Amino acid sequence: MSDPIPYRREEKGAQPPSLYPPYVSTLKRAPRQPLILMPQTLSEVTGPVYGHDKVVPDDSDLTRQHKGEPQGERIVVSGRVLDESGRPVPRTLVEIWQTNAAGRYIHHGDQHSAPLDPNFSGAGRTLTDADGRYKFVTVKPGAYPWRNHPNAWRPAHIHFSLFGPSFLTRLVTQMYFQGDPLIPLDPVYNGIPDKKAAARMVSRFDLEATVPEWALGYCFDIVLRGREATPMEH
Amino acid sequence: MSGQTPSQTVGPFFGFALLREGHEVLVSDATAGERIVIEGRVFDGDGAPLNDALIEIWQANAAGRYDHPDDRQEKPLDAAFHGFGRCPTDDSGRFHFRTIRPGPVPGPGNTLQAPHINVTVLARGMLKQLVTRIYFEGEPSNADDPILGLVGEPERRKTLIAKRGNGKNGTYTFDIRLQGPGETVFFDV
């Protein structure tokens, strides 16, 4: 069997180091030994095709998962999942999670004193369509304090988890909101060395995606690692 | 050309979104192959267990075929095995998977890889995931595995080999040390 067509390597500057001391928790969790560079084999260029049977339409509308509507500013978050050549990644699972409008996760470990919202869980999932498009309806998450440094606050964000077509395209990231004054102060965001690359995580307010009299639209495209081009490709 | 979206930490509060019951069990009664249990703990640089890590695994079936369109080997697929598992660590840093021992799969060139399971580690304090592999103690083909062979020091190579459980048939132990003495080998893929 011939060797598989490899995926492009991590883009320098666009991906964070494991050790980033301003994000204090990395100090004890980052390996000290260098990673061992290895060729991509069948084990890496394959990956889970996961969860398709379990996604239902209501999973992508986080405002309709309870009896009543959640508190907060209703938003529509949409975009495309693409590879580095700009090709859509169809039928791939996108999972999101976030705080409620007050900045509190439903997770039992979240001790922030902000109120829980009985009408909001903050978890959603969907599959991209044939053009790589996805859409979630939710409420804008709140900022919240954390203990990384004195008076530390995370900017409002939505966590995204994607699989893409292989083990190598697995991506967990966070989506931020344009104009948030907490972004430049955030050690998680600032862990990305290339500032232009970091800005790819900031969603864009989009009047086109805004639904009149109902919800603001934010656009967030996600680019996964793509394959090396092959000379034979048509 | 579009630039890659950067990775960010999974954070501590993914449990209500990413976990579904039973994802640590990859097998059903109909699955072909030798049943195994992989159990282990995840430790930080102080030797403290991580109670908020997420371990994901991806593996071939008992015949050595991945349930994926890019695997075009003429080996049978198993309708009762898909090869993906996900398990959060508990308060003592422990995770476990119930799966089958994978068959060998092709490696670079004309090599054959020893049976292994691909592992992704995600956690708070990790801006991006780490990738490692589980091999099996006592497997003769480990000696010729092209990826294990990339790890120069024998002591480090051992961090990739799951140990047979004491007295428990089919149980293997695989601890993950993120940093410090006995640090697990992680790969740049």
ipTM: 0.96
As to burial, measured by CB atoms within 10 angstroms (0-12 exposed, 13-18 middle, 19+ buried), residue A51 is middle
Per-residue pLDDT at A233: 45
DSSP H helical ranges for A112-173: none
Task: Give the chain B residue whose CA is nearest to the CA of A12.
Answer: B4
Domain-located, residue B163? yes
Closest chain A C-alpha to B184 CA, distance in angstroms: 8
What's the domain range around B43? 15-177
Chain A interface, best mutation among B1, B2, B5, by max A CB count within 10 A: B5
Domain-located, residue B81? yes
Mean pLDDT to the nearest integer, A45-61 = 82
B-chain CB neighbours of A11 within 8 Å are: 3-4
Least confident of A29-38, A55-64, A200-209: A55-64
A-chain CB neighbours of B109 within 8 Å are: 3
Mean pLDDT to the nearest integer, B116-129 = 98
Is residue A206 a contact partner of residue A20, using CB atoms and an 8 Å limit?
no
- d(Cα A184, Cα A189) in Å, to the nearest integer? 8
B-chain CB neighbours of A45 within 8 Å are: 70
| pLDDT tens, position by position, B149-165 | 999 999 999 999 999 98
Domain-located, residue B67? yes
Closest chain A C-alpha to B83 CA, distance in angstroms: 7
CB nearest to B5's CB, from A33, A170, A201: A201
Domain-located, residue B5? no
Q: What angle do CA A90, A160, B175 make, to 5 degrees?
A: 105
Domain-located, residue B182? no
Is residue B155 a contact partner of residue B184, using CB atoms and an 8 Å limit?
no
Per-residue pLDDT at B19: 76
Task: Give the chain B residue whose CA is nearest to the CA of A167.
Answer: B58
- d(Cα A156, Cα A102) in Å, to the nearest integer? 10
Mean pLDDT to the nearest integer, A197-226 = 97
Closest chain A C-alpha to B167 CA, distance in angstroms: 31
pLDDT over 60 at B53, yes or no: yes
Domain-located, residue B135? yes
Q: Which residues of A are catalytic?
A: 105, 144, 154, 157, 159
Per-residue pLDDT at A234: 41
Residue A8: Cβ within 10 Å count: 16
Query: Count of domains in chain B?
Result: 1
- The two three-digit tokens of residue A43, written as one number: 């084990």
Domain-located, residue B2? no
Instruction: Name the percent of chain A lying above pLDDT 70.
Output: 96
pLDDT over 70 at A232, yes or no: no
User: Which residues neighbour A183 within 8 Å (Cβ) at sequence distance 6 or greater?
Assistant: A155, A176, A189, A202
Domain-located, residue B53? yes
Amino acid at A212: P
What's the mean pLDDT when you consider all of chain B?
96
Q: Which domains does chain A have, with CATH numbers?
A: 24-29+39-224 (2.60.130.10)
Q: How far is CA B151 from CA A15, A40, A96, B146, in A?
A: 24, 16, 36, 10
| pLDDT tens, position by position, B78-99 | 999 999 999 999 999 999 999 9
With cut-offs at 50, 70 and 90, classify the pLDDT of residue A55.
confident
Are the beta carbons of B185 and A33 separated by less than 8 Å? yes
Are the beta carbons of A198 and B6 separated by less than 8 Å? yes
Chain A interface, best mutation among B43, B131, B189, by max A CB count within 10 A: B189
pLDDT over 60 at A231, yes or no: no
Instruction: Name the percent of chain A lying above pLDDT 90.
Output: 91
Q: What angle do CA A98, A100, A106 make, to 5 degrees?
A: 75
Per-residue pLDDT at B164: 94
- The two three-digit tokens of residue A45, written as one number: 């260029």
Per-residue pLDDT at B122: 98
Task: Give the chain B residue whose CA is nearest to the CA of A99.
Answer: B13
CATH code for the domain of B79: 2.60.130.10
Instruction: Name the percent of chain B lying above pLDDT 70.
Output: 99
B-chain CB neighbours of A110 within 8 Å are: 13
Per-residue pLDDT at A21: 98
A-chain CB neighbours of B50 within 8 Å are: 29
Mean pLDDT to the nearest integer, A34-62 = 88
